[in-house]
Structure 1
């Protein structure tokens, strides 16, 4: 976490500078776009939120030693706006002290999202030396790792806990790692750790029509040459493993084979463009990062893997070396980590948050597949009959890549089919993060499709519930909108119960701006109950249209 500026209440009350950008352009989707939303006023949102903070509202849990700083305003659906804040305590950054204030387009405060449960009151004098904290942290990746200078931080746990935060750069399992390690400044115990690196004109793709039906990607022309930089969607590009963007003398790319890296870039660019357009059209988000931009991608990783490292996505191939890991859902999954990182609360946090981050990638993968809505074998599509080599929509993850020879690596309709939990339990927060993704994945499937869609041949099988209830879905697009607004209420210490609480508040915010109904509120809660995620303290209990 960045060290915060020392700006006091008066500065917050007066309003801080904000960086905003215009909505991004995108292609027309194959489904009906949402009606135009009210024009939001970030200045009004910031002023109203600052007024709430300066008022001494009990819900902020402000202590006399706190300094609260506004970090920005994010736009959501229907003119919703999210004003994010961080705080320091006695001059030290507070991990878990961040919060979000939601307003409508005119700046009327609708809700807050705050994980901290009480004002902080803790000594800021450590008993452990910084050198010892660095040694403990280095042990997480081995002697060859590089360790930053440990920084004293307050963890918003109860009335507060003093820790050292250290960033450890190294590698594990053949891929880069960048661990944030929190060491108790009194006992030397490792309290939390998390890794910034998250795992998994006629252009010939492998996953988008193959050699039968050439696809199209947007590139950049300059001086008689072309590069794989999307001219319509800033920030999106595709390069080799060293970061050199692919270029050529013409605008025809790839050979449709599963081993060609240039073809892998065609697939990656096609998927990234679809995700960029989907978040604009379906979710009313301004680009993947919320400010009109996407991120670079690289292909050629010599592993059966793909990962997000905090600034770009890198893609390998399957274990059989016959296909690149650049199907729509895998690409959108990795870039989905970037969306998680670029919503309030960031991506840093404990193991339970890591599972929710992995699930977020899967959800954006599914949303992008359904937005593209490519055909299944034998279906008509763009005037031709699909025979092979498309990535039709479903709720499986990586099934087209066949990453390790066992088909899909996750199943959102029935996570237990691949050995992951369908239902929340006390073991889930400590579980390996890709397995733990099963619970929120299952919730999203039930929210989107319900428990009995009964259409397995078209990617919508029936889904078991943990409480035996029958659940009715709201549809994939509305489920995605609810999830996006939930992420806009995210805090740094994210848990399944907090996600449940935020999702219910997100629906109420959407109801307030005419983008949802109280039926959606009930179905969102039903889906959480159906995966056994317990209610959080203070979650909304009722809805009025």
Structure 2
């Protein structure tokens, strides 16, 4: 312990897969008695569903599916699948089937909206697609070989997928680009690097895990370690770390490792998740970034400093926010996609920041739990960068969803789901020192408490698909609430009321309760 001194299935032979109703049980399934048995039973249930009726999954004889992952959290198993069409990968063809411990399907999440019927011969060459993709970044570095792909837009869109590194807006970029294989237009471009603004905060004397060789590597949380911008983990002559000075890099790692450890514990004890990636692991962190910023780049989190250089940017909600991007990336559907998905990704980071602060529950002298984001960073002297109870207190951030929401910057767009989560967790008039939250439809909402809201949100992410929108998040969260808390319908009703209160309206076919 280290102390801070100062502080393929390839579905049937035809390749066709399908879903039954969300209440269908597997009649002859054996009783599961261990976590691995539960996963095996979930796969058996899902594959029986898949073989029964292709219509709900919009499958054709040209389609084949591949099982991607099986995750078990709080008694619910989530089996995710991808698909190919005519041998080509389908971006947006993914789906998730969730089962309970009896093998009963309790939720399904299907991204694709209709069957595919698209020509698979490109007019552009791979070299032409690569050139177009590389032109989307400044100082282009590596790029992947263009991969011919079908995008699940309507009946399908043929495109080349290219991942290219470089810079955008002066920041590191790992851009996923889809180039229309017929016209050369940019069909979609999304950055794997999810940037956020950090703050600086010291937790006083803390204890966190390291290795016996005096290295800032957690011996109990695989993958968690901290070092400088070269990626080399910090080491020392003894087990005392940091001096409590705001711009000291070793102190930055103390704050970062402590916060990441608390988030790991929250995921396990509150949400039933096994590590940040869901399979018992997490990712390293770096400090000393010479920017007033912090970000996740798909492989590690990176923390800079305040604009005046006085404080490092590794406060608890900032660290948990950046690892929240890693959770978003490692749940079904991944992290790249549309601008609207980017806004939901940013909100996910904020939600995990709040969850981690409330789980840790530090006294007022340090960082007491709240629903403000980066409230102590004072990045440019203006306090929080986002406020979940009333996002509009930050200029340009909406409280309510509208037709213009998907066009906003991702950090501003985060306000809508943040507002939904606050209403779900705390309510519109929570008391206890928490601020009131105005609703968009004038209703009053009683909160469920942050732990219960967090369980519903984690279940929602486990039903995430490649093309993620506020409407899809609403539909998935209703399924999650019903699946996790059945036979109670109170949670389902509160989830619906909170979405209505931020103007994300009913979705066709959304699950009802009872």
TM-score, normalised with respect to structure 2: 0.92
- Give the secondary-structure state (helix, strand or coil) at the position aligned to 1:179: strand
Listed one character per residue, the Cα deviations across residues 514-537 of structure 1 (whole Å, up to 9, x for unaligned) are 6xx211111100000000012222
Tell me how far apart the structure 2 counterparts of residues 57 and 159 of structure 1 sit (CA, whole Å).
Answer: 16
Deviation larger for 480-489 or 419-428: 419-428
C-alpha spacing 1:475/1:6, structure 2 compared with 1 (3 Å): closer
TM-align CA RMSD: 1.8
Once residues 144 and 338 of structure 1 are traced to their aligned partners in structure 2, the CA distance between those partners, rounded to angstroms, is 24
The aligned counterpart of 1:219 is: 210
Q: How far apart, in 1, do the equivalents of 2:89 and 2:163 lie? A: 15
Q: What secondary structure does 2:130 align onto?
A: helix
2:80 to 78, 84, 105: 84
> 1:189 is matched with which residue?
185
- Are 1:368 and 2:356 matched, yes or no? yes
Shift of 1:342: 0.6
**Structure-1-length-normalised TM-score:** 0.86
Residue 506 of structure 2 corresponds to residue 521 of structure 1: no
**Inter-partner Cα distance in structure 1 for 2:262 and 2:184:** 47
Conserved 8 A contact 1:13-1:50: no
Give the conservation status (yes or no) of the 8 Å contact 1:63–1:121: no
Q: 1:504 aligns with which of 470, 478, 496?
A: 478
Contact 1:13 1:51 in 2 (8 A): no
Displacement of 1:476 after TM fit?
0.4
CA distance in 1, matches of 2:134, 2:47: 40
Q: Give the whole-Å Cα distance in 2 for the aligned partners of 1:11 and 1:313.
A: 43
Native 8 Å contact 1:38 1:105 kept in 2: no
Q: What is the CA distance between 1:8 and its match in structure 2?
A: 4.6
Could you give the per-residue CA deviations for residues 120-148 of structure 1, whole angstroms, max 9, x where no partner exists? 11111112232222222122113644433
Of 488, 491, 499, the match for 2:465: 491
Q: Does 1:288 align with 2:288?
A: no
Gaps of 5+ in 2: 1-7, 18-32
Structure-2 change in CA distance of 1:237 and 1:326 (3 Å): same
Call closer, same or farther: CA 1:58–1:466 in 2, change over 3 Å: same
Choose the corresponding residue for 1:41, options 34, 38, 42: 38
CA distance, structure 2, for counterparts of residue 261 and residue 408 of structure 1 = 23
Write the deviation string for residues 438-472 of structure 1: whole angstroms up to 9, x where unpaired. Answer: 100000000001111134xx4x2001111111111
Query: Is 2:136 the partner of 1:140?
Result: yes
> What stretches of structure 1 of length at least 5 have no aligned partner?
15-36, 201-205, 377-385
Matches of 2:348 and 2:107, distance apart in 1: 23
Residues 77-134 of structure 1: per-residue CA shift (max 9 Å, x gap): 2x10000000001111000000000001232212210021111111111122322222
Aligned equivalent of 1:440: 417
After superposition, the Cα gap between the structure-2 partners of 1:312 and 1:122, relative to the gap in structure 1 and judged at 3 Å, is: same
Q: Residue in 1 aligned with 2:242?
A: 254
Match of 1:126 in 2: 122
Alignment-derived partner of residue 97 in structure 1: 93
Q: 1:478 aligns with which of 452, 472, 483?
A: 452
**What SS does the corresponding residue of 1:287 show, helix, strand or coil?**
coil
How far apart are the structure 1 equivalents of 2:172 and 2:265? Answer: 30
